[in-house]
């Protein structure tokens, strides 16, 4: 039955590839031609999303580079940037007040060597720290006391982890071994790390997003900052780079086509991938990225920003602007996914706000905040929230 459905999807892609307007099919998924030039459209963020600014506590023990890892009902959890790797995990409340700092960096069995991802379970008072170098998820209470360790599935390296439900995590494998066809998404027990479900997304041949170039004895590799999992209306959108379909994954573990791209990624060289961005009731933001990178100039991964407008039933090449700036400040619609309340977040450095204030480029709430800041203060965190 699954094979018949995938064949139907391929037929629909062929039939609709020449259509000028992208419309929902009877199966309620969208067709996107990743090679096409679409009309341009500008949007104001505040017209379709709520914006909240969080001023982080500037006490000495809470000085941070402001890399938000997870946001819950009561907590904002922040680390320094990945390259710092100092092991600090800072807890702030939702107003930005500093609460505590934990650090379990080390080589012991109850410690992490690197923070790849964090998931927060406030109901059970637990935090999950993913370390893909040692292929384990370390579980602590919210005071940093070790509780247990969950091993990654053998042969798999989890890179992103999310709370799927009360009992399980949703984990993503980013070890794309093109010679080993396997699943990328796993439903993992929070208690013992057992795999309760492997999400089977159909594709013909495994395709990696990583560009690898060998120069003599030197091997260079680089992977675009791709996000393959997006929460959407109490479901999850999953993107397998080797598949032509982005799927909607429901709490009952059923899988439904959501967006279909054309031409097939299997037919393109270099491949062009279609990654999901922020998803709202009206707008579905997407980004194409070409698998092409020049290591001599350290440039590549050319991209285009696309948006499907549910109301107009049309795809646009878009720009989104923050209305709290006077100079058309663009907003990144492809940052980290958060939850069903908060679509994503962005960090605004204090020195940037101070400079923008001096140049008269701010207004509204952001102008008020900037007037209270020093250039050396913690970053301000902008939450981009779904309208209620």
- Residue 123 counted as domain residue: no
Beta bridge pairs of residue 93: 75
Q: 143, 102 in Cβ contact below 8 A?
A: yes
- pLDDT for 8: 36
The sign of the torsion formed by the CA atoms of 191, 192, 193, 199 equals negative
* Alpha helix segments (H runs only) across the chain: 2-16, 45-48, 350-358, 364-370
Q: 219, 212 in Cβ contact below 8 A?
A: yes
- Residue 161 counted as domain residue: no
- pLDDT for 212: 87
Tokens of 289: 């990225």
Rounded-to-integer distance, Cα 65 and Cα 310, Å: 37
Low pLDDT (below 50) residues in the chain: 1-26
Boundaries of domain holding 275: 1-63+257-388
- pLDDT for 126: 98
Q: 199, 156 in Cβ contact below 8 A?
A: no
Beta bridge pairs of residue 283: 309
Tell me how long the chain is. Answer: 388
Sheet holding 136-141, edge to edge: 117-121, 126-131, 136-141, 146-151
Task: Reply yes or no: is the peptide bond before residue 270 cis, omega within 30 of 0.
Answer: yes
Q: How far is CA 59 from CA 49, 56, 80, 305, 314, in A?
A: 31, 9, 16, 39, 48
Rounded-to-integer distance, Cα 84 and Cα 190, Å: 28
- pLDDT for 220: 87
- Residue 139 counted as domain residue: no
pTM beyond 0.75: the answer is yes
Domain count, the chain: 1
- pLDDT for 180: 64
User: Residue 60: CB partners within 8 Å, gap ≥ 6?
Assistant: none
Residue that has been written with the tokens 């419309």 in this structure: 23
- Residue 189 counted as domain residue: no
- pLDDT for 226: 75
Residue that has been written with the tokens 């429901």 in this structure: 250
Which of 157, 185, 156, 271 has the alpha carbon at shortest distance from 224?
271
Which of 315, 317, 282, 320 has the alpha carbon at shortest distance from 303?
317
Q: 176, 190 in Cβ contact below 8 A?
A: no
């Amino acid at each position: 039955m699954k094979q018949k459905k995938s064949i139907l999807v391929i037929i629909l892609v062929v039939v609709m590839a020449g259509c000028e307007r992208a419309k929902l099919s009877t199966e309620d998924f969208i067709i996107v031609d990743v090679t096409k030039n679409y009309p341009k459209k500008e949007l104001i963020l505040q017209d379709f999303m709520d914006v909240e600014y969080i001023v982080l506590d500037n006490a000495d023990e809470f000085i941070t580079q402001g890399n938000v890892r997870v946001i819950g009902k009561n907590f904002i959890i922040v680390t320094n940037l990945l390259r710092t790797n100092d092991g600090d995990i800072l807890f702030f409340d939702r107003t930005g007040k500093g609460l505590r700092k934990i650090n379990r960096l080390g080589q012991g069995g109850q410690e992490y060597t690197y923070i790849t991802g964090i998931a927060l379970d406030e109901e059970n008072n637990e935090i999950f720290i993913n370390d893909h170098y040692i292929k384990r998820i370390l579980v602590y209470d919210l005071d940093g006391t070790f509780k247990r360790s969950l091993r990654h599935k053998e042969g798999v390296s989890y890179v992103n982890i999310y709370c799927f439900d009360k009992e399980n995590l949703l984990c993503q494998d980013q070890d794309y071994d093109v010679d080993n066809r396997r699943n990328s998404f796993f439903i993992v027990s929070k208690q013992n790390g057992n795999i309760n479900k492997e999400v089977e997304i159909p594709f013909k041949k495994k395709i990696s997003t990583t560009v690898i170039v060998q120069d003599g004895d030197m091997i260079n590799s680089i992977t675009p900052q791709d996000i393959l999992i997006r929460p959407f209306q109490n479901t999850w959108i999953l993107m397998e780079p080797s598949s032509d379909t982005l799927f909607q994954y429901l709490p009952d573990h059923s899988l439904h086509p959501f967006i279909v791209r054309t031409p097939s990624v299997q037919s393109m060289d270099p491949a062009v991938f279609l990654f999901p961005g922020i998803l709202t009731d009206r707008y579905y933001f997407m980004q194409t990225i070409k698998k092409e990178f020049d290591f001599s100039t350290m440039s590549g991964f050319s991209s285009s920003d696309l948006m499907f407008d549910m109301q107009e039933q049309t795809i646009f090449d878009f720009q989104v602007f923050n209305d709290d700036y006077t100079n058309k400040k663009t907003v990144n619609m492809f940052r980290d996914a958060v939850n069903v309340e908060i679509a994503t977040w962005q960090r605004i450095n204090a020195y940037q706000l101070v400079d923008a204030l001096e140049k008269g480029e701010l207004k509204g709430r952001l102008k008020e905040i900037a007037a209270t800041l020093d250039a050396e203060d913690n970053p301000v965190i902008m939450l981009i929230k779904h309208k209620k």
